[in-house]
Amino acid sequence: MKVTELFDLTNRVAIITGGGRGLGEQIAEVYAEMGCHLALCSRKKENCEEVAERLAKEYGIKANSYSLDVTSEPQVEEVVSRVLADFGKIDILVNNSGATWGAPVEDMPLEAWNKVMNVNVTGTFLMSKAVGRHMIEQNYGKIINIASAAGLTVRPPEVTNTIGYTTSKAAVIHFTKDLAIKWARHNIYVNAIAPGMFRTKMTAGTLEQKEDTVLETIPLNKIGDDQMLKGAAIYLATKASDFVTGTVLSVDGGSTL
């Protein structure tokens, strides 16, 4: 098999939560480039619509957008059913929707903690459950959970102060490993990517205030750009990773060393 075939996604179908901006948009773009059809989901459907229209036009693939709150099981079930009706199958699930909240532990509202845990952990569970039923039936699937380097390490409050976020991403990492062993018998691969500090809307405030401090924690001394996650995302979605499951791939400039 040629190397190019290992990374080919022609006529595969991927559902990407949070696919309308940031890391989700970057993943959607590299999948489209490799021939994958896209179902992009977000609470802000208009963001997904813009990305879907652009990628469909640029790469000649089919791309639809859907409004989705991943913390709502009825919405998750409805959107997954619609995607299956629109595309006929789902080969790849990228659980990318995420939330964060910055505050000292002693001041963090319970509402904020619950919001972060519900989006990052419960949302990942609900999407995996709904899509997983279909993947079990077709005896194939690739699930990629977007965790975080923050779920693998800890930092003093001068660097980050987001204990709900870090705890939720640690939970996503363990969920990934546990689900991988549960569904390996169904030929479903479950892996996670743990991005470090990338320039996104979510990290803009932190980088504006503390970029120099953050850079001190990254051995490669740089912040992730809009190209640096694509290689990991395409690897875990394709035949190239057909002997890989339950793995967490850190894309973090060495920050978790």
The pLDDT tens digits of the residues spanning 138-183 come to 999 999 999 999 999 998 888 889 999 999 999 999 999 999 999 9
Torsion of CA 110, 113, 119, 122, to 10 degrees: -80
- Model pLDDT for residues 99-147, shown as the tens digit of each residue: 999 999 999 999 999 999 999 999 999 999 999 999 999 999 999 999 9
| CATH no. of 3-251 | 3.40.50.720
Instruction: List residues with catalytic annotation.
Output: 165
Q: Is the pTM of this model over 0.85?
A: yes
Whole-angstrom distance, CA of residue 19 vs CA of residue 242:
24
The full set of domain ranges for the chain reads 3-251
CB-count burial class (<10 Å; 0-12, 13-18, 19+) for 229:
buried
**DSSP category for residue 193:** E
